[in-house]
Amino acid sequence: MSVLIVGSTALDSIKTPKSANPRLLGGSASHAAMAASFFGPVNLVGVVGDDFPRRYIQLYERHGIDLEGLQRVPGKTFHWSGEYESNMNNRRTLLTELGVFETFTPTLPAAYQRTPFVLLANIAPALQHHVLDQMRRPRFVAADTMDLWLKVALPDLLRLVKRLDAFVLNDSEAQMLTGEDNVFVALKKIHRLGPTYVVVKQGSHGSILSSPRGLFICPAYPLPKVVDPTGAGDSFVGGMIGYLAAAKGPIDDHIRPAMIYGSVVASFCCEGFGLQRTTKVTRAQINQRVKELERLTRF
Amino acid sequence: MSVLIVGSTALDSIKTPKSANPRLLGGSASHAAMAASFFGPVNLVGVVGDDFPRRYIQLYERHGIDLEGLQRVPGKTFHWSGEYESNMNNRRTLLTELGVFETFTPTLPAAYQRTPFVLLANIAPALQHHVLDQMRRPRFVAADTMDLWLKVALPDLLRLVKRLDAFVLNDSEAQMLTGEDNVFVALKKIHRLGPTYVVVKQGSHGSILSSPRGLFICPAYPLPKVVDPTGAGDSFVGGMIGYLAAAKGPIDDHIRPAMIYGSVVASFCCEGFGLQRTTKVTRAQINQRVKELERLTRF
């Protein structure tokens, strides 16, 4: 089945102590859509300006991503610039130019409104609501978020969380949202906000699912070298929903492997700047790492 | 088979924002020995003063721990006092009174010298060497350490590491030792120092084994409440070597479940002050959590 993905479609300029990588394809929706595209059809909802490189459009297309929902409008594409320290753990934002993103209203093409799986990738909760308002009885709705929305749009976000099947956030956001250091207590508190599935991402330590069938501890794929972690969280959730949409039967039967696949796609994401590595990976390479993760965790 | 465990045998006074817990049974060897005792016979090597409560001697005995190697000498028992912040993550040492530990020389009873499994729990590397010098062809030798020895006794420690089958340390120590942030690169570098098995502990994120059969990602048991993490690392390595000593056949066949059992014993350790919870646990409760961990990681 298809996945609809809404979020930011951006140009990312990523600096490290060793290199500068200007105007890479980035944004939460780009990473999530590319990750989901390994598993089945993706409908992308976003906005880009007239400076958006034609080669990035072609890149989406080569991955079979439907672009009817990608608005192309006059003005500049959302541009984010950030710098990592040498250990790739600490990041600081150098520049955020919203451009055409500032006035973005995600209006869905009619053909998108019945997409069964929906991923509201990181974007303002008001826009996530707006997309959901246009959907007709989706089978499964997941959303990601970021610390910014917890600070500036908490009421919107809390209202959104009630409408979700799955809510995905990282550990520091879970702590900020619940006031709880302990991730297992935080998970319980987040469940009370509405979603059936709560996933807390813990970066290189993997992620934790809380679901009706209990907890699942999902490992990260071991990487001896992290080139650029930008978009890893988006790749994780994109891979996860892509796998779920392609699987047959109840969500509960597939959500654990879906997280493993998401984790593997995120590992590839970290091995190149922007989407450079992800876009060169094959499904066979993904399957290979999933098998490895199985071996690395069996006892 | 038996395990010989040498390390500190201490009295720990542990403060939290909510409680004071004076003079609990503590020390690396106490935690490790108690953890190993669930699986088979343990020979304890340490030193206590004449202020060491009789009830703690009885507690060791009730767990079948052999005390022929526990020196009881005039003077005060090693006393450590520490305070945790409310989230139990940050600890500061309030007081360290070495007492009889200052002049401790771990001389082994003749009966201990052929113990097949040896755990050199956290203690000065010179003393770890001294114990190893007295052993006759042990089958398997593991050691733990702490940041202090990396700072003040690095040459001794590096010489020790060459003599080990397994070296266990936590992530910040691995980073300090190798100058590597990335745990997988650090593991490789530590292998080059000598040991066949290297285990990096990552607290609530579990631990990672690097071995001839590859990596193993060992989860921590999920705890919604951590009462006191003091001794959790010692419990982990004690449980691990206790399980290994009880298992038949090659180490490689058992080291993964051994880590899982260690992880579970460490989880119980965290649920009470000092050894209060660990000493009330049954083997059946340990097996139960191991089964749960299996369910929590299967996909």
Mind listing the pLDDT tens digit for each residue in B229-276? 999 999 999 999 999 999 999 999 999 999 999 999 999 999 999 999
Instruction: Report the relative pairing of strands A197-201 and A42-48 from DSSP bridges.
Output: unpaired
Q: At what angle do helices B232-246 and B28-36 cross, to 10 degrees?
A: 40
pLDDT at residue A103 is higher than 80: yes
Across A13-17, A279-283, B132-136, least confident range: A13-17
**In terms of DSSP bridges, do strands A3-6 and A117-120 run parallel, antiparallel, or are they unpaired?**
parallel
pLDDT at residue A90 is higher than 90: no
Least confident of A15-19, A87-91, B91-95: A87-91
Q: In whole angstroms, give the CA distance from residue B6 to residue B97.
A: 19
pLDDT of B18: 84
At residue B91, the pLDDT reads: 85
pLDDT at B253 (0 to 100): 97
Mean pLDDT of A33-52: 98
Statement: residue B19 has pLDDT above 80: yes
Residues in chain A with CB shorter than 8 Å from the CB of B215 are 222, 296
Rounded CA-CA distance A222/B64 in Å is 40
Collapsing DSSP to helix, strand or coil, B208 comes out as: strand
Q: Rounded CA gap, B210 and B166, in Å?
A: 10
C-beta atoms surrounding A292 within 10 Å = 15
For residue A95, the model assigns a pLDDT of: 92
Sequence spans of domains, chain A: 3-297
pLDDT at A86: 73
B216: nearest CB among A202, A218, A296: A296
Of B181, B226, B298, the CB nearest to A87: B181
Is A222 an interface residue toward B (CB < 8 Å)?
Answer: yes
Tell me: the pLDDT tens digits for A222-256?
999 999 999 999 999 999 999 999 999 999 999 99
* B223: nearest CA partner in chain A: A184
Q: What integer pLDDT is reported at residue A285 of this predicted model?
A: 98
Confidence (pTM) = 0.96
From B259, which residue of chain A is nearest by alpha-carbon distance?
Answer: A299
B224 touches chain A (CB under 8 A): yes
Digit-coded pLDDT (tens) for A120-176: 999 999 999 999 999 999 999 999 999 999 999 999 999 999 999 999 999 999 999
- CA B151, distance to chain mean position in Å, is 20
- Bridge partner list, B13: B81
Q: Do B216 and A181 touch (CB under 8 A)?
A: no
Question: In DSSP terms, which residues pair with B72 in a beta bridge?
Answer: B48
Strand, coil or helix: B220: coil
- Taking the Cβ of residue B287 and every Cβ of chain A, the question of whether any pair is shorter than 8 Å is answered with no
**pLDDT band with cut points at 50, 70 and 90 for residue B281:** very high
| pLDDT digit string, tens, across residues B45-92 | 999 999 999 999 999 999 999 999 999 999 999 999 999 887 677 889
Strands (E), A87-150: 91-97, 117-120, 140-144
Chain A residue with CA closest to B202: the answer is: A205
Across the range A109-117, mean pLDDT stands at 98
Q: Is the pLDDT of residue A87 over 80?
A: no
Q: Report whether pLDDT(A257) > 90.
A: yes
- pLDDT score of A232: 97
Dihedral pair phi/psi, residue A38, rounded to 5°: -65, -20
C-alpha separations of A146 from A120, A124, A275, B67 in Å: 12, 9, 20, 55
Residue B184 is nearest to which of A181, A182, A223, comparing CB atoms?
Answer: A223
Residues of chain B with C-beta less than 8 angstroms from the C-beta of A208: 222
The token pair that represents A162 in the structure block? 């009630």
Do residues A31 and A269 make contact, with C-beta atoms less than 8 angstroms apart?
Answer: yes
Q: Is the dihedral of CA A58, A64, A67, A68 positive or negative?
A: positive
Quote the CA–CA distance of B118 and B115 in Å, as a whole number: 7
CA distance B223 to chain A (A): 7
pLDDT at B189 over 90: yes
pLDDT for B90 equals 80
Asked if the model's pLDDT at residue A60 lies above 90, the reply is yes
pLDDT digits (tens, 9 = 90+) for A190-223: 999 999 999 999 999 999 999 999 999 999 999 9
- Return the beta strands (E) in chain B as ranges: 3-6, 10-15, 20-26, 42-48, 65-66, 70-72, 79-84, 91-97, 117-120, 140-144, 166-170, 197-201, 207-211, 214-218
pLDDT band of B16, cuts 50, 70, 90: confident
Q: Is A74 on the interface with B (CB under 8 A)?
A: no
A256-285: average pLDDT: 98
* ipTM for this model: 0.94
Beta strands at B3-6 and B117-120: parallel, antiparallel or unpaired: parallel
Q: What's residue A114's pLDDT?
A: 97
Q: Residue A76 pLDDT > 90, yes or no? A: yes
pLDDT at B5: 98
Q: B3-297 in CATH: which number?
A: 3.40.1190.20
* Tens digits of residue pLDDT in B150-169: 999 999 999 999 999 999 99
